[in-house]
Amino acid sequence: MFKATLLWRDKTLSSSALIDSGADASFMDITFARRAGIPTERLTSPISALALDGRRLGPYDCAIDLLAGAKLPSGRLYSLSGPEKLAMEEYIHDSLASGIIRPSSSPVGAGFFFVGKKDGSLRPCIDYRGLNQVTIRNKYPLPLINTAFEALSPAVTFTKLDLRNAYHLVRIREGDEWKTAFNTPLGHYEYLVVPFGLTNAPAVFQSMVNDVLRDLLGRSVFVYIDDILIFSQSPQEHVRHVREVLQRLLENQLFVKAEKCSFHASTVPFLGFIIEEGSIRADPVKIKAVTEWPQPTSRKHLQQFLGFANFYRRFIRNYSSIAAPLTKLTSVALPYCWNSDAQRAFELLKARFSSAPILLHPDTSRQFVVEVDASDTGVGAILSQRSASDSKLHPCAFFSRRLSSAERNYDVGDRELLAIKTGS
C-alpha cells in the first residue's frame, strides 16, 4: 500500500495505491506497520533467517535471564556534584529524545554516577553489580587475543576501526527492560538498548559482529567486541578488504568513530599492542603505566598490578618465576606482608617491561625453535623463528608457569622434562 498527500493547483489531494511487487510473501518495516495501524504479533521465541547471499540473520536482542529464586537487587541513589547534575540532566534529556531510555516503574533501580575521562569530560556509569550477580551468563566466547595474532604474519597494511556507541546498537529483549532500571535525582528510568555494564553485553555484541563479518574472520579481519582490525598482504588488496568491511557495517547500521580509526597504515595500535609488518610489541603508553605503578599497599592493589602485567606476560621471559613472590602474596590463606623478595620481584618485573622485546609474527610455513628452562619455582619456554629480513632468531612468544607443590619436589632432570612437555 502506497499513500501520498499532493498539492495541486492550491488544493490538497490524498491518494493511495496498492502495488503488486510479485513477491510470494509479505515483508515490511515494523515502524511502517505501526504508523499504518497494521496489527503485529511478537513471536514467543526468537528465530534466525538465512539471507539470499547466505548470511545468517539472527536475533540480537540482549536477554537478561535471572537465576531461579534470585533476590532482586536493591538500588541506591548516588549524590552528584553541581557539574555532575548538569551533565546528568543533559544525558537524561538526550537519551529520552533518542529513545535510548524511558521512564520506569521497575521494582529495581541501580545507582547512577559519573567517572572522569582523560579529556576532562564526564562518562555516565550505572552500578549493575547487583543485577550481574543474579544474571544467567551468556557463554558466547570472546576471541583469544594472543592466538589471533598468528594470522598477521604475511600482512603489511592495516586498518583499525572503532564502532560508535557499540552496545546501544543492540536492543534489550522486550519484557526485560525493567531489569535495567536506574535511579537519578530526576527520576526512575530504564534502558531500551544495551547500556554499558551489563555482564552479557560483550558476548551479545561479539556474536552480532561475528555474524556480520563471519566469512572474513581470520582471513582479513579480527574482531574483539567493538574493535576491528583489517589486515592485508598488499595495499591494493587492502582497499578491497576495507571496502567490503565498511559495506557490511553500513548494511547492518554499524557506524565507526572516525577520530579513533586508522586507515591504510603500516603500524597501528590495537588492544594494547603495536601491530606492524612482521612483528608485534607492547604499546609504550600501556607499558608506561606498568613501569610507573606504585608499590602495592594491599592484596587488592597487588592483584590489579598482576592482572595488568599478566596481559603482557608473553613479552617477558620466565614471567612466572619472576612473579612468584608476588603471586604468593595474593593467597588469602596467608597474611599480606610486603617483604624484600616481593620488592625485588616488583622492581624486576617493571624493569623487564620497560625493555620488553619486539615479537616476531609466527609464520607457520617456516621452522620454529623452542628453548625451555626450569627453575625451583617454575618452567618456561621461548618460541623463536628466523626472520626473513636478517636470518637471525627472534622470539615469537614467551611461555611460563609456576610449579605446583608436588612439582617443586621433582629433581632437576624431571623438572627439565616437565619444561619440555609444557613448552611444546
Residues 228, 245 contacting (CB under 8 angstroms): yes
Q: How confident is the model at residue 51 (pLDDT cuts 50, 70, 90)?
A: very low
Going edge to edge, which strands form the sheet with 393-402? 368-374, 378-386, 393-402
Helices 319-329 and 299-311: angle between axes, nearest 10 degrees: 160
Three cell numbers, residue 229: 582490525
Establish if 355 belongs to a structural domain: yes
Establish if 131 belongs to a structural domain: no
- Which residue among 12, 32, 54 closes a domain? 54
Residue 65 confidence (pLDDT): 94
Average pLDDT over residues 36-60: 52
Q: Which amino acid is at 112?
A: F
β-sheet bridge partners, residue 282: 273
Tally of domains within the chain: 2
Establish if 357 belongs to a structural domain: yes
Burial bucket for residue 359 (CB in 10 Å: 0-12, 13-18, 19+): buried
Residues 175-232: tens digit of each pLDDT? 999 999 999 999 999 999 999 999 999 999 999 999 999 999 989 999 999 999 999 9
DSSP H helical ranges for 114-200: 129-133, 145-148
Calpha distance 387→400 (Å, rounded): 23
- Which residue among 17, 34, 54 closes a domain? 54
Residue 56 confidence (pLDDT): 42
Q: Give CA 216 to chain center in angstroms.
A: 18
Establish if 412 belongs to a structural domain: yes
Three cell numbers, residue 333: 590463606
Provide the mean pLDDT of the chain: 83
Q: How confident is the model at residue 326 (pLDDT cuts 50, 70, 90)?
A: very high
Establish if 192 belongs to a structural domain: no
Residues 293-320: tens digit of each pLDDT? 889 999 999 998 998 888 888 888 888 8
Q: Which amino acid is at 122?
A: L
Residues 187, 112 contacting (CB under 8 angstroms): no
Calpha distance 245→143 (Å, rounded): 19
Residue 312, domain CATH: 3.10.20.370
Q: Cell numbers 592483584 correspond to what residue?
A: 303
Q: Is the pLDDT of residue 416 over 50?
A: yes
Establish if 120 belongs to a structural domain: no
* Residue 371: count of CB within 10 angstroms of its CB: 14
Residues 246-283: tens digit of each pLDDT? 999 988 888 898 888 999 999 999 988 898 888 888 88
Residue 373 confidence (pLDDT): 81
Establish if 141 belongs to a structural domain: no
Single pTM value for the model: 0.72
- Which residue among 54, 73, 98 closes a domain? 54
β-sheet bridge partners, residue 123: 115
Helices 284-291 and 299-311: angle between axes, nearest 10 degrees: 150
Establish if 338 belongs to a structural domain: yes
Residues 40, 179 contacting (CB under 8 angstroms): no
Residues 363-388: tens digit of each pLDDT? 777 788 887 888 888 887 878 777 76
Where in the sequence is the domain holding 340, given as residue range(s)?
284-423
Residue 8 confidence (pLDDT): 54
Q: Which helix or strand (DSSP H or E) is residue 368 part of?
A: strand 368-374
